[in-house]
Chain A
Amino acid sequence: MNANDLYESFQGVDDDTLLRSEAKKNGGRRFAWIGYAAAACLVLGASMFGLSRLAKKPAETQEAALPTEQSAAVPTEDARRVVTGENGGLNEFVPSTGQRYLLPDLEQAIRAPENDGCLFDVEVRIWNYAEVEAFVESEWAKVTDKQNDPAILHYNEEYDYWLDNIYEPTEADLKAQENNKGREAEYFAAYWAENYPQEEQEAYSAAMEAAKEARRAYDASTAPEALKPLRDAAAARLLTKLAEAGFDIGQEEKDGVIINYLHGLLTREQIEGFPVGDCGAFILWYGYNGAADE
C-alpha cells in the first residue's frame, strides 16, 4: 500500500461526514456548525424520503411460498408477493455495533403502500460484533501495555528533552522536516547510544523487543482468519435468535472473512426491526454487486 492508495481510499468516507465538512464557519463559535449541519441533514433526508415516495419506481415482484416459521407480524396467506430489487453503487456503508442501515431504495420499497404485506428478498451483511470488537480491543491493550513500559516512556521523555533543549537542526534538517522527512529520531538514537548508561539502554532494548513481540502476537490473534471462528459463533447465535423470532433467513456461503452474509425473505416489520443489539447490519437487496462506484 502506498500514499496513492491511501488518498484513493478516502472515497470510503461516508456522505454524512462529507456533508458536515462542507459547512463553513458560523459566527464566533468555531465548529458550532456541526450540530446545525446534522439537523439540516436530518431535515434534508426526511424531505428526500417524502419526495422519493411520490416518484416510486415499481419494484419487480414474484410469487413465493411462505417461510415455514411465522412471526406475529407475518400474515397467514399461503403465498405472498416477493419484492426484489436492484442495488445501485456508491451506497457502501459500514455500520458500527448496534447500528442498522437500510439501502435507501430498499427503504422506499418496504414503505410503499403497494408493497403492504409483501416479503422482501434481502441480503443482510453483519459485522462489527461487539464480542469481536471487545476481543480486538483487549488484544490491543496488551500491545499498549508493553508500549507503555517505563523504559520506553523514559526513552521518549529523554527524546522530547533532547528535541527541545539539545538538538540544533541545520537548514537541511529544517527543510527535511517541512517535507516530512526529518531524521530527528535517527539522530537521537545515536545520541542515546553514545550518552546513556548501559543498563538504561539494555532495559529499553528489552522493552522494545517485548513491545514488538506483543505486536506480532496481536497481528496473529486478530488476523481476519483468526477472528473468523469468533465471528461465525456470533453469527450462529444471531441466526438462532432470528429463527426463534420467526425470521426466514440463513447464512449465505460467500468468501467473506470479516462479514457474515445472510439471505432471506423478510417482512417490512422484520427489516425495520432487525435486531442488531451486538453487531452492525447493512440490509440491502439480495444480489448486490457492490462494484458500481468505479
Chain B
Amino acid sequence: MTDERIIELYFSRDEEALRETSLKYGGYCFSVAESILADPGESEECVNSTWFRAWNSIPPARPKVLKLFLARITRSLAFDRYRNLSAKKRGGGEIALVLDELSECVGEGSAADEAELNELKEAVGRFVRQLPERERAVLVRRCFYTESISSIAERYGIAGSSVMTALSRARKKLGNYLMKEGFINERK
C-alpha cells in the first residue's frame, strides 16, 4: 500500500492504518530501535509504542515522508528508553560509542532545557546541510541512525578508516559550529 493511502487511513481513523504501517515499516523501525537499545525485547516494545504515537499524531500531522516520520518517533522513544534503563542494563553498544564521540564536541555540561534543545535541533539541521556530501552522509548514519562504522563503510563502499576520518572531521566542525553559534563556550 502506498504511504499516501496509509496516511489517508490514519486521517479516516481506520485502524487498518496501524496494520499496514506495521507490515511496511515494522522491520525498519525495529532496526532503528535496535541500533540504540541492542535488546530485541525492548526494541519490539519501542516499535509498538511508535504505532501508538503515530496514531495520536496523524492527524493533525500529515507526514511528508511517512518512513522518516516513524523513524524520528522510534528514535526518540528508543533513546528515552535507553536513558531510563539502568547503567548495567544499558551495556556498551553502538549508542554508547556515539555518545562518547559526541561528548568530544560538547563536554560534560548539564542537560539543556526544552527551548535550548529546540534551538539546538534547528542549529544541527542547518549545520548538517552545509557539510560536504561524504561527511554529511556518514554523520547522519552515525548520529541519527546510530549505525556502526563497519555498517556505514559497507553501505557506501568505502573503508572503515575513511568513515572514521570523515566522522572525525565532521565532529570537529560541529564543535566549532556549536561554539560559533554560542551553544558551548569551550570544547574540552
Which chain A residues have a beta carbon within 8 Å of chain B's beta carbons?
1-15, 17-21, 24-25, 30-31, 34, 48, 51-52, 55, 57, 86-92, 94, 96, 104-105, 140, 179-180, 218-219, 222-223, 258, 292-294
- How far in angstroms is the closest Cβ of chain B from A82? 19
Q: How far is the CA of A8 from the CA of B57 in the complex (A)?
A: 20
- How far in angstroms is the closest Cβ of chain A from B27? 14
Structural contact, B72 and A90, CB atoms closer than 8 A? yes
Which residues from A are CB-within-8-Å of B102? 3, 6-7
Given known pairs A3-B99, A12-B124, the reply for A19 and B65 (CB within 8 Å) is yes
Q: How far is the CA of A57 from the CA of B60 in the complex (A)?
A: 11
Kindly state whether residue B183 has any CB partner on chain A within 8 Å.
yes
Kindly state whether residue B123 has any CB partner on chain A within 8 Å.
yes
Structural contact, B63 and A88, CB atoms closer than 8 A? yes
Stretch in contact with the other chain, from B14-22, B42-50, B154-162: B154-162
Kindly identify which residue among B11, B104, B180 contacts A57, using a CB–CB cutoff of 8 Å. Answer: B11
Structural contact, A18 and B71, CB atoms closer than 8 A? yes
Q: How far is the CA of A188 from the CA of B105 in the complex (A)?
A: 21
Which of B2, B59, B101, B125 gathers the greatest number of chain A CB atoms within 10 Å? B125
Structural contact, A4 and B64, CB atoms closer than 8 A? no
Which residues from B are CB-within-8-Å of A10? 124, 128, 140, 143-144
Structural contact, B60 and A87, CB atoms closer than 8 A? yes
Q: How far is the CA of A140 from the CA of B182 in the complex (A)?
A: 12
Q: How far is the CA of A239 from the CA of B45 in the complex (A)?
A: 50
Kindly state whether residue B86 has any CB partner on chain A within 8 Å.
no
Kindly state whether residue B90 has any CB partner on chain A within 8 Å.
no
Shortest 3 CB-CB distances between A and B: which pairs? A88-B61, A12-B121, A25-B157
- How far in angstroms is the closest Cβ of chain B from A166? 23
Given known pairs A90-B63, A90-B72, the reply for A180 and B103 (CB within 8 Å) is yes
Which residues from A are CB-within-8-Å of B38? none
9 more A-B residue pairs beyond the given contacts A5-B120, A8-B121, with a C-beta to C-beta distance below 8 A? A2-B103, A4-B79, A10-B140, A12-B122, A15-B64, A34-B133, A48-B4, A90-B69, A96-B129
A-contacting residues, B112-169, CB 8 Å? 112, 116-117, 119-126, 128-129, 133-134, 136-137, 140-141, 143-145, 155-158
Which residues from A are CB-within-8-Å of B182? 219, 222-223
Given known pairs A88-B58, A96-B126, A223-B182, the reply for A17 and B140 (CB within 8 Å) is yes
Which residues from A are CB-within-8-Å of B145? 21
Kindly identify which residue among A18, A55, A86, A104 contacts B8, using a CB–CB cutoff of 8 Å. Answer: A55
Which residues from A are CB-within-8-Å of B99? 3-4, 7
Kindly state whether residue B84 has any CB partner on chain A within 8 Å.
no
Q: How far is the CA of A209 from the CA of B111 in the complex (A)?
A: 30
Which residues from A are CB-within-8-Å of B95? 7
Q: How far is the CA of A13 from the CA of B102 in the complex (A)?
A: 16
Given known pairs A2-B111, A105-B62, A292-B61, the reply for A11 and B105 (CB within 8 Å) is no
**Chain A residue at minimum C-beta to C-beta distance from B134:** A31
Given known pairs A14-B129, A88-B58, the reply for A21 and B3 (CB within 8 Å) is no
- How far in angstroms is the closest Cβ of chain B from A2? 5
Which residues from B are CB-within-8-Å of A52? 4
Structural contact, B121 and A6, CB atoms closer than 8 A? no
Which residues from A are CB-within-8-Å of B137? 20-21, 31, 34
Which of A7, A8, A17, A180 gathers the greatest number of chain B CB atoms within 10 Å? A7
Kindly state whether residue B41 has any CB partner on chain A within 8 Å.
no
A-B residue pairs in contact (CB < 8 Å), sample of 23: A2-B103, A3-B100, A4-B83, A4-B111, A6-B106, A9-B124, A10-B124, A11-B72, A11-B121, A12-B123, A15-B64, A21-B144, A25-B156, A30-B156, A31-B133, A31-B137, A86-B60, A91-B64, A92-B122, A94-B125, A96-B126, A223-B182, A292-B61
